[in-house]
Structure formats: structure tokens, C-alpha cells
Amino acid sequence: MLTPDLPDRASALFFDFDGTLVDLAPRPDAVRVEPQVPELLARLGSLVGGAVAVVSGRPLAEIDHHLPLPQRLSVAGVHGAERRGADGLVRRIAVPPLEPALAMVEELVREHPVLRVERKPCAVALHYRQAPELEDACVAAMSEAMRRCEGMTLMRGKMVVELKPRRASKGAAVRSFLDERPFRHRRPWFFGDDVTDEGAFELVQSLGGVAVKIGEGETLAAHHLPDPAAMRDWLARAADHLAGVPVERVAP
């Protein structure tokens, strides 16, 4: 895979959050955001006409909490099940009642308190990062939960299995952004670290854009950065480049 070059002012920049902008943490609530990240996202946004968005599995409200900016970012949360465009409007995919699925998963969590269930708008996630040996049990419980909820599907991630709307995906969220101002008619870039980002990688590359995998693992992305620290360094260099500051380009 190639090291990504630097964008121009006709770019639209999309970033996953966990494992991309920030390092993965043992629990979602233990994540640490380096102080320069919100500043760099705001700076990049000002240099590309506001065409910057975060596309995450986290709920929109959590992204706002972790990335407090004077002007709110465009965000797709819960893998695109909820999305706030540059116009400030929040759109959510309708889902059936999730209580039957939640009850099924909470039963397993009571048996294994090391597991963590996360109730999101439009989704339920079961985290087993601290008990990888329980992966099969988690997948079985979530599969049964899916059968109790019409229109939902399972998605696997890094030590997490999630029940989400079948219509929701990061690729679909990016496609929706690209149909709107200020993202329209721009070359898309997508940065992500997980299998949940592969649909967005495929989409942006089909449109002539740039897909960047953060970390190791098989991927459709043609470009690569080794870790979130390298991602943050890229953000700083990209912002300087767009502002006209001479930047040394990294060899592929």
C-alpha cells in the first residue's frame, strides 16, 4: 500500500474516529483525544470550504462531546444510522423497537459482567475487548437478537458485534454527504481502521478518491498509515500544505 499524498482545496475529507483520529481504548468511554485533533479538523474545514466530516460507529452526541468545535462538524454516527449535514439538520433511519434485542444481550452480560453492552440511537453494540474468549457467545447472542428485530443486521468490528439498521453503512453516509454542499463535486478521501470502513473505502475509490487504511489488516484501501499518531501527523501536514506552508512530502 502507498503512503497518502496531501489533499488540495477541492477535496472532501472523511474520517473515522476510534482507531483513526484517536487511539483505541479498552472501553469506549476511556478514549483520549489529543488536544490538537479538534483544532486541526477545524483548520482543515476552513481550508476546504467546510468539506470535512467524521463518519463513526459512535453516536453523534459522543462525537460532539469528544470533538468540541465552535462550529459543529458534519457527522455520520452509528455507521450512518444518524447523520448531521452541513445544514445542521439531523436525519435518522427509522428502526423497530430494540428492547427485545437488548433483553437478549443483557442476559449474556449478566452472566459475564466483563462484557459491555452499549445502547445507541438506532443500534445495540456488544463489546468483548476484555474477554476475547467470549467472541462466539457474543456472536450467538447477537444473532438471536437480530432475529427478534425486523430490518436489522449484524456487523462485526474490532472486539465488538453490533446490531444496526440494514440500510445504514458508512459508504451510504459518505454518498449522502457527497450529494450535498459543501461536499458536492469534490474528490473524496476516507480514513479508517476497521472492517466497518471497507464499504466507504470501496465507494471513494470508485469515485476516483483516496482510501487510507490506518493500521494493519487486509483492506480494499490503496493507501496506508501505520497508526493514529501518523494520522494526526498527516492532518497537521495537510493543513499546512493547504495553507501554503512548505511541507516535506513523505515518500510512498
Q: Specify the pLDDT at position 102.
A: 87
pLDDT of residue 138: 94
Mean pLDDT of 216-233: 96
pLDDT confidence band for 252 (50 / 70 / 90): low
pLDDT at residue 51, rounded to an integer: 98
Task: Give the residue-averaged pLDDT of 115-119.
Answer: 90
Q: Tens digit of pLDDT for each residue in 3-59?
A: 999 999 999 999 999 999 999 887 777 899 999 999 999 999 999 999 999 999 999
C-alpha cell at 105: 444481550
Residue-level pLDDT at 249? 67
- The pLDDT value recorded for residue 7 is 97
Give the residue among 213, 220, 217 at the shortest CA–CA distance from 190: 213
Tell which CATH architecture fits domain 11-93+168-242: 3-Layer(aba) Sandwich (3.40)
Mutual angle of helices 170-178 and 198-206, in 10-degree steps: 40
Determine which one of 16, 18, 193, 197 is catalytic: 16
Task: Provide the percentage of residues in the chain whose pLDDT is more than 70.
Answer: 98
Would you say residue 104 has pLDDT above 90? no
DSSP-derived letter for residue 250 is P
What is the C-alpha to C-alpha distance for residues 170 and 248, in angstroms, rounded to an integer? 32
Beta pairing, strands 82-84 & 74-77: antiparallel
Give the DSSP H/E element, type plus range, for residue 37: helix 36-47
CATH number of 99-165: 3.30.70.3080
Residue 16 annotated in active site: yes
- Beta strand residue intervals within the chain, DSSP E: 11-15, 52-55, 74-77, 82-84, 90-92, 116-120, 123-127, 152-157, 160-165, 187-192, 210-214, 223-225
Look up residue 44 and give its three cell numbers: 482543515
pLDDT in tens, 137-154: 999 999 998 988 888 999
The Cα–Cα gap between 193 and 144 comes to 28
Identify the DSSP state of 95: -
Which runs of E-coded beta strand occur in 57-205? 74-77, 82-84, 90-92, 116-120, 123-127, 152-157, 160-165, 187-192
- The residues of the chain that CATH labels 3.40.50.1000 are 11-93+168-242
Give the 3-state secondary structure of residue 122.
coil
Position 62 scores a pLDDT of 93
C-alpha cell at 189: 478521501
Q: Tell me the range of 119-128, 151-160, 219-228 where mean pLDDT is highest.
A: 219-228
Quick check: 13 and 36 in contact, CB under 8 A?
Answer: no
pLDDT at residue number 231: 98
User: Residue 68 has which C-alpha cell?
Assistant: 468540541
For range 221-245, the mean pLDDT: 96
At 36, list the grid cell.
Answer: 490538537
Q: Give the Å distances, CA to CA, from 132 to 27, 43, 53, 55, 63.
A: 14, 39, 32, 26, 26
Q: What is the pLDDT of residue 251?
A: 54
**Rounded-to-10 torsion of CA 194, 139, 173, 233:** -20
What average pLDDT does range 148-161 have in this prediction? 88
At 197, the amino acid letter reads D
Q: What is the mean pLDDT of the chain?
A: 92
- Residue linked to cell 472492517: 195
CA 146, CA 149: separation in Å to the nearest integer? Answer: 5
Where in the sequence of the chain do the CATH 3.30.70.3080 domains occur?
Answer: 99-165
Lowest mean pLDDT among 23-37, 198-212, 230-244: 23-37
